[in-house]
Amino acid sequence: MDSVLKVDLKENSYNIIFEKSFDSLARRLAEIGAPKKLLVVTDTNVGRLYGGEITELLTAAGYDAAAPVFEAGEKSKGMDTILGICGACLEHKMDRKSMIIALGGGVVGDMAGFAAAIFMRGIRFVQIPTTLLSQSDSSVGGKTGIDFGGSKNILGAFHQPKLVYINVVTLRTLPEREFISGMGEVIKHGIIRDGNFFDYLENNADKIKSLDDDTLMYMARVNCAIKAAVVSEDEQETGLRAILNFGHTVGHAVESAADFALTHGACVGIGMCAAARIAQRRDMLSAEAEKRIKRVLELYGFDTSVRDIAEEQIYEHMGRDKKSSGGRLKFVLPAGIGEVRIFDDVTRAEIEDAVRSVICGGRNK
């Protein structure tokens, strides 16, 4: 399978590179005309694992690379971190031709991308995602954002990277909890767009969970191709791209209500179960398909319900959802495995039924 995938966005087009090491990184940067002055943004977890390797590799290739590190975790996903990155740009004497490199997971990518979008009114940046969540979703598509006022990703910008470099071997150092989180977005892409890919995930769980390199390369390539196709059709989320929010309406609310103690992917998994519940109750989705969605999530270690979160908190955070329009929430509901539709007429009664189905009882409710 080809190790290069193009995200076709006309003048904003870029390539996603799939590798089993960082060996070709300097060459790939040279191919996009990367400047000599780079800022490698990472967090304390990833910096300890890969920060030294990347900066040494870049220095050996003749780049002038500084590497600021911020504290790992969702709590750092705010304006103070953004200002810290911009301050590091000034300290490193960056100019409008300089480039930021995001080395890490989704939080790092969002922080580095947002800083790149606003520093000197916008400079180039590159994504080097090191978690499954970032490799499968957040590094592709140009969405950047920070949490504010208790709501997730409420401030941000569209700022496309110039390159996404995926080294699947970094998944070997990923905690199991974070691997499960990333699989939430992978499974989501199968449900919304590609039933055959969903079948593959269902039938190859053992090889995927064992982190077989070739299997991970295939999964990453197909998964990113799904997202790239959607993004290429709708870069600014004015229509089709909204299907990528499947599971996120309830999922983001659960994540915020839990004060970000749960992983993003875990919350998306819960949100997908809630959306499937609404679809099944509307007779859009068969009962067997709803059970299959839950079964595959559980196959990868997901809980399909959550405890110790107040129902009213979820509704409160859903009311702040940036995807709402005219006070009406948009729900992406599955019409089968591989197809979804967007609705803005989901009733309060349907929402309450769906939320109660995922915050009460055991895994198999």
Catalytic (active-site) positions: 121, 143, 185, 227, 237, 241, 245, 248, 252, 264
| Kind and range of the H or E run holding 41 | strand 37-43
End-to-end CA distance of the chain: 40
Q: Which of 160, 154, 102 is nearest to 131 (CA)?
A: 102
- How far, CA to CA in Å, does 194 sit from each of 215, 270, 343? 17, 20, 20
Distance CA(79)–CA(114), nearest Å, equals: 10
Q: How far is CA 335 from the centre of its chain?
A: 23
Residue bearing tokens 């870029």? 14
Spatial distance between the Cα atoms of 89 and 38, rounded to a whole number of angstroms: 9
Distance CA 14, CA 161 (A): 7
Q: 60-66, long-range: CB within 8 Å, 24+ apart, which pairs?
A: 60/26, 61/26, 61/29, 61/30, 62/36, 63/26, 63/29, 63/34, 63/36, 63/37, 63/38, 64/36, 64/37, 64/38, 65/38, 65/39, 65/40, 65/101, 66/38, 66/39, 66/40, 66/91, 66/92
